[in-house]
Structure 1
Amino acid sequence: MSDTWDRSTKISSLKETVLRKLCEVLDKSSIRGWRKLGEIVNNDRRFEVSSDHMEMCSLRVLEVGGSPSLMLLRLMGDRGCTVAHLSDYLQTLGNMEALQCLKPQDLQILLQPHSVALLCGHNLRLSCLAVGKSTVQYQWFKSREEVPGGNSPDLLISSAQLKDAGFYICRVNSEDACEFSQWAQVDVLNVGVSYGQTYHSLDGRLKLAIQPQSQRLHAGESLQLECGAVGRPIPRYQWHRNSVPLPNATKRKLSVTFHLLLRRAESLGCSLTAGVVPDP
């Protein structure tokens, strides 16, 4: 890896993590912050920033999570400003902390593991790939426990079982640098032949594997329903009653107790979407 970014890179192409870190530095500095940077840029006719533009940037502080620096950098990016130009401006500004943000990390995760739902008996693969100044070492964890033998970019579990379901994360090391990947949730479904479906492969697309079954109930009895799907990213569930979403009914299994005698048929169903997994 080189010591600096390609100086011809447009700042509009910088990674979100780099921009976020750079904006945090520029937003917090009153002397060498975004306002002073705007004054320096305004002296360069190629990327001239008017007083109206600076006013637009300042109004960003009124928004939740708003960043004047991000607005300024986007304006500069729209005008074709490169990393070379921005580096020169930050050098003139004398903000070495901001300039440091434009240097690549000693360790960077290029490929994050993705959550997945699969059937019992299928092979599980989670992948994490990182680059560093020296050899990168990997260690996978399930929750907070190390996975035995999980010290390669790919975590492979042959014939996954119910016990393999859970949250996984990968730690990568290169010399003194250490980073953790994002969490990946693994859901393992045990589908019996009674459901009438088998899957010989999992190609990543969302597939319904368990259908909720119709039932007849008496007042006071509990209704137990299950809906299950496989795919990558992991499916998200929402149960409905007579086409109306049920509050807090976002699990694969649904339990409802009817305390009153039903005088008409009730319709319950589940909708599926693919979603992002929050940290456990």
Structure 2
Amino acid sequence: MSGTLLEVRDLSVVFDGFRAIDGVDFTVEQGELRFLIGPNGAGKTTLIDVITGLTRPASGSVRFEGWDLVGRKEHEIVRMGVGRTFQTSVVFEQLTVVENLDLAASFRRPLWSLARRRRGVSAAVEAAMATTGLDALAARPAGVLSHGQRQWLEIGMLIAQRPRLLLLDEPVAGMSGEERSRTGELLVEIAKDHTVIVIEHDMDFLRRYASQVTVLHEGKVLVEGSVDQVRSDPRVQEVYLGRAEDRDKRPAGGGRAGAAGEGRTGSAGAEPAEGAAVGSAAGEVT
């Protein structure tokens, strides 16, 4: 695969006078496994929200395969081939793994056809189970799956919809070391047939699996390039390490209350979901 799949130009998002996104240009080629990183409040989730139609920008354009996405409804963008996960997995706990996947794969069918009893499993569902390694758990209710397995199921539900672009918001948050490795391998496998954008804070995970990286800071693109280029860039080191040093210099007792707002500078309402603490990533940038 080659050619531009996603093109964002001069994008701005304003929340109550605060610029959560400020003139961002962002291009992703077909077949890329792109990682999107930055401190809390940098604009990562807001950018994904705009691409998927959840947030309306103040200005700028978002084009997917040449089609403008701004102003389209979320379900229209899904049907165009854009799928996303959120930081908290969204699966139907009472349904089995295969039923969750089948329901996701059915989104293009008319409503009346969903009431018909289907025989067997579709090729899309079988492929999603094989890719995510959930074959052996096909008959198990989603509610009893481990945290990592639920994340894989949600990724499988996206794959079953056959999107061309997958947007994954912190897919390894809360996972064990073994689950993180399995997820990294899964992302590499998926990227063979899809374009994938991953929001992530874990720098070790980034080093192991990223090909291209975009760093956002205060709503702007700070730097783009390979993992090595990004890690060695003094601007990235200043953004991450400078914040970690400021945190370490706080007087005793200032602790967690101060750290909770670290890096947001008035943007707490802009990106409530951008979870992990900057400090855990900061010490791993160099």
TM-score range, shorter chain: under 0.3
TM-score normalised by structure 1 residue count: 0.27
Higher relative contact order (CA 8 A, sep 6+): 2
Larger Cα-atom Rg? 1
- Larger helix percent: 2
TM-score normalised by structure 2 residue count: 0.27
